[in-house]
Chains A and B, each alone.
Chain A
Amino acid sequence: NAGVMQNPRHLVRRRGQEARLRCSPMKGHSHVYWYRQLPEEGLKFMVYLQKENIIDESGMPKERFSAEFPKEGPSILRIQQVVRGDSAAYFCASSLRTSSGTDTQYFGPGTRLTVL
């Protein structure tokens, strides 16, 4: 049973370009979370999605960032017109249960975005 897959593992973009990060959850998991870890900082929640629905995007920057989790295919985190401050590690996690108290989130290896 493959774990959470993220690609690409490393992504280099120039300022103003678009970055598209993909996440395939574990088989059977319908809950997906995106977190960001800026250099020398802790992990911060960005967005929580279920299939075809955004449940909580309270951690997403208001502009340039969007996320989706379509009925078929991976979840996508899209960053438009990237700036140097977007350079970070972006982690995706997935979970199976509906009870948050006993829920376990399984994380992918992350995508390390570097903006030149």
Chain B
Amino acid sequence: DAKTTQPNSMESNEEEPVHLPCNHSTISGTDYIHWYRQLPSQGPEYVIHGLTSNVNNRMASLAIAEDRKSSTLILHRATLRDAAVYYCILRDLISSGSARQLTFGSGTQLTVLP
């Protein structure tokens, strides 16, 4: 999977929007952009994924740059429960069975201030 770059940490105030950036300049045409998060002492949790168009679900929105070399995960109103490590991961649509695992980088530690 292609490499992603994220800031090590970010802070946000409660009930304000949060924009978490991810750079993936070597993304290929068949790479999907996935976001997972890991709350303290819990397993990772799927957040959202997309290919080219912006995506929305009940948890977040994903804004994908036109050239697909970067993306932004948007939490519209951060709560204290959103404090977690957020991982941006690229996954090839066409990969052999041996390449199905998720490759986690160091992610972005989001701190939400009350």
Contact = CB atoms under 8 A, between A and B. Distances in A.
A100 B93 contact: yes
A42 B106 contact: yes
Contacts of B91: 100-101, 103
Name the residue among B32, B91, B95, B101 with the largest chain A CB count within 10 angstroms. B101
A31 B97 CA distance: 10
A78 to B, nearest CB: 19
A108 B43 contact: yes
Given A91-B43, A108-B43, A103 B104 contact: no
Interface in A39-66: 42-45, 48, 55-56, 58-59
Chain A interface size range: 20 to 34
Interface string B74-114: 00000000000000000111110111111111110000000
Interface residues of B, number: 27
A107 B43 contact: yes
A31 B95 CA distance: 15
Given A101-B30, A102-B32, A45 B44 contact: no
Contact of A43 (B51, B99, B104): B104
11 contacts: A42-B105, A42-B107, A44-B104, A48-B97, A56-B98, A56-B101, A100-B92, A100-B95, A101-B94, A101-B95, A103-B100
Interface of B: 30-32, 38, 42-46, 49, 51, 91-95, 97-107
